[in-house]
Structure 1
Amino acid sequence: MTDTWRPAPGRVVCVGETMAALAPDPPRPLADAGHVRLSVAGAESNVAMYLADHGIPATWLSALGDDPLGARVRSAVAAAGVDVAHVRTDPDRPTGLMLKDPTPTGTRVHYYRKGSAASALGPDLLDHEALRTAALVHFTGITPALSASCQELVTHALAVPAAERRYAISFDVNHRAPLWPRGTAPDVLRDLAGRADIVLVGLDEAQDLWGADLTPAAVRELLPGPRVLVVKDGSREVTAYTASRAVTVPALRAAVVEPVGAGDAFAAGFLTGLLRGEPVDRALRLGHITAVSALKVTGDRGPLPPHRCLDRLLGLSDEEWQAYEETPRSASDGARCGPWGGPALA
């Protein structure tokens, strides 16, 4: 059985803030660190970069400060093959900054985003020429948390009824509690998610936002509006709800180096599958495969498997998929998938 609705193939525009990110190198509490590593961090640009890796034309639309950190961010995203020509340079506001503070009990994140260049984005961005030829526009729940004008931007985009939009809209809930005034996130994020065409949400974040006893099916009852709703149940499985059915695909078993960026990678892989007209189960598999690429590296983005390996994974039977485990194998092993790490059937 196939589902009839898909976003039209074409360019994806990802809208949102990307920051410079500083982290101790090697990892240790920030207060004791002698050296830090500079990188970039942004959910929407992560999605754009993985889309570009999959061969999907991707544009990142945002604003950066007229400063060295902004130049670093722009260069890093462009190097991944993403169109950054429409990113505005703000002469008066700085590029956002994120600090990672590893501790024995976990990594704390400190944001310096208030008054940043991207926090000044507003609904006027919806008139930008980059959106006129978009097939899909991707937002996350991070953007409406940045400022009143950013919330207006996402609200205005989703206020247009789905049947009247020039492009489909995907929305990854991506709840970042420290960015929200206490008690405001649940209602805002539920309203925004309910209006999007494609929604991605983690079961854990749905439970934090809307009820600790929620199941994936209950999340669908809470959000009946999206044409496609994807509920990610951690490292176990993901379920996609369409107008006609629910499809569940187990996650791939893989060693985890760092979980950062895996959700963005999954979103890009899944959206790639939909844009290519793949059945929902294969789109979910592509999401899982792309997520593993992020799990295998320190940082937000790792290399995709070679095409022959990716095609092989997508073609596995349901039983083979569930038995599959990403493990190193010798170069002589016919199941080896080159520099991606040697995936093999268990």
Structure 2
Amino acid sequence: MPDFWIIGPIAWDLALYVDRIPASGHFVQAGESVERPGGTGANVAVALSQAGGRVHMVGYVGADAAGQNMTMTLTAARVDVDHVQVLPGHTSSVVLLIEPNGERTIIGIHADLLHTITIPVEAVAPGDIVYFAAWHDSFTAAAQAMAAAGALVTSVPPGTTPAMQYLIGSRNDFSVIPEEATVIVTEGAKGVTVYSSGKSDHYPAIPTDAVDTTGAGDAFAAGFLWEIGNARPLAEGVHLGLAWAATTVQAKSSMPKTSSAPQSGEDRSTP
């Protein structure tokens, strides 16, 4: 099993459960509110670590209470935080408006400083898996260097396509489907479509009752990367990602709720 390097946001979330998204100028009362750990990078890192992976988190927190909470959350999940930088100011934070069907609307609070972090290119070994859970053009040189050194580099779109083996994102993230990489498009309740070598394959989602879709895409990415890290076929990565996403949407949480990752020789069929 290679090491996983997750580069992306670490955030403190305020989740508000509402019966509807208010129209402009209108009022809505939250039925429930909760502060909780989140951020797409931290979500993927924790999910992979819970499955048993060696995971290095690359990102930043602010010099505030939320940053301390997120550092403790990652450390408790056995994620390596040596490359989590503490920057002056605030930890990333978002407000989540979550409707009864589980769909969420996201409102960012503080400016994103991820583009200012230093990526530890030299620490990544050949065969390691690198996942950019967010993308800035300033990451291009690091991504290309890690790919050239033998790491398997993946990203959310747009990514640096020549450096990427896989691009993973929702349908709304793609204006066009790049041809240079294997593109994995998540489509919520419709499932996932994989574009590769000029053809496409569709995988239906696992039916489930969603209460909170926050972190579902991160759960999918983590499940997919876990199987790729275990040298399993792409289809098995998609199936495990869909299973982890289905488990995640059944819980009120920003971080993925994953079932145990199957070990070598165990049944890998999705529930």
Task: Give the shorter-chain TM-score range.
Answer: 0.7 to 0.9
Q: Provide the residue aligned with 1:81 in structure 2.
A: 78
**1:302 & 1:193 partners in 2: Cα distance?**
27
| 1:141-171 deviation digits (Å, cap 9, x = unpaired) | x342xxxxxx31x222234494x23311111
Unaligned runs of 5+ in 2: none
Match of 2:259 in 1: 305
Quick one: which amino acid aligns to residue 71 of structure 1? Q
> What is the identity, as a one-letter code, of the residue corresponding to 2:69?
R
Secondary structure of 2:90's match? coil
Q: In 1, Cα distance between the equivalents of 2:99 and 2:199? A: 43
* Aligned equivalent of 1:156: 141
- CA radius of gyration, larger in: 1
- Residue of 115, 119, 123 corresponding to 1:125: 119
1:9-43: CA deviation from partner (whole Å, max 9, x where unpaired): 41011012211112337878798569842112211
Indicate if the aligned counterparts of 1:11 and 1:133 stay in contact, CA closer than 8 A.
no
- Say which of 65, 72, 94 aligns to 1:68: 65
Deviation at 1:197, TM superposition (A): 1.3
* Residue 17 in structure 1 maps to residue 13 in structure 2: no
Matched residue SS, 2:37? strand
Is 1:53 the counterpart of 2:53? The answer is no
- Which residue in the other structure is 1:225 paired with? 180
Identity of paired residues, percent?
A: 20
Indicate if the aligned counterparts of 2:191 and 2:203 stay in contact, CA closer than 8 A. Answer: yes
Distance in 2 (alpha carbons) for counterparts of 1:236 and 1:160 = 36
**Structure 2 CA distance for partners of 1:27 and 1:85, relative to 1, 3 Å:** farther
Corresponding position of 2:41 = 44
Structure 2 counterpart of 1:236: 190
Q: Measure the CA separation in 1 of the matches of 2:256 and 2:105.
A: 23
Structure 1 Cα separation of the partners of residues 45 and 38 of structure 2: 12
Secondary structure of the 1:270 match is: helix
What amino acid does structure 1 have at the position aligned with 2:206? L
CA distance in 2, matches of 1:279, 1:104: 36
Point out the structure with the larger helix share: 1
For the Cα contact (< 8 Å) 1:18–1:43, is it kept in 2? yes
Report the equivalent of 1:263: 217
Q: Equivalent residue of 1:85, what SS? A: strand
Offset of 1:291 from its aligned partner?
Answer: 0.8
Question: Would you say the 8 A contact 1:64–1:117 is kept in 2?
Answer: no
2:12–2:70: 8 Å Cα contact kept in structure 1?
A: yes
The root-mean-square deviation of aligned C-alpha atoms, in Å, is 3.4
Structure 2 CA distance, aligned partners of 1:248 and 1:277? 21
Residue 182 of structure 2 corresponds to residue 198 of structure 1: no
Distance in 1 of aligned mates of 2:156 and 2:199? 21
**Structure 1 residue 97 displacement after superposition:** 1.8
Contact 2:6 2:131 in 1 (8 A): yes
Q: Which residue of 2 aligns with 1:167?
A: 151
Query: Are the equivalent residues in 1 in contact too, given 2:244–2:258 (CA < 8 A)?
Result: yes
Residue 107 of structure 2 is aligned to residue 110 of structure 1: yes
Taking the aligned partners of 2:39 and 2:83, their CA distance within structure 1 comes to: 17
Aligned counterparts of 2:265 and 2:50: Cα–Cα separation in 1: 15
Structure 2 distance, partners of 1:249, 1:310, is 23
Q: Within 5 Å, which residues of 2 pair with 1:280-299?
A: 280-299=234-253
Question: How many equivalent residue pairs?
Answer: 265
Unaligned 5+ segments in structure 1 are 1-8, 145-150, 174-188, 211-218, 316-320, 322-342
Bigger CA drift: 56-65 or 20-29? 20-29
Amino acid at match of 1:291: A
Once residues 263 and 226 of structure 2 are traced to their aligned partners in structure 1, the CA distance between those partners, rounded to angstroms, is 17
8 Å contact kept, 1:45–1:77: yes
Match 1:135 to one of 128, 150, 166: 128
The whole-number CA distance in structure 2 between the counterparts of 1:101 and 1:167 is 37
Secondary structure of 2:83's counterpart equals: coil
Question: Can you list the C-alpha shifts for 1:198-220, whole angstroms capped at 9, x where unaligned?
Answer: 111223432xx34xxxxxxxx2x
Distance 1:310 1:11, change over 3 A: closer
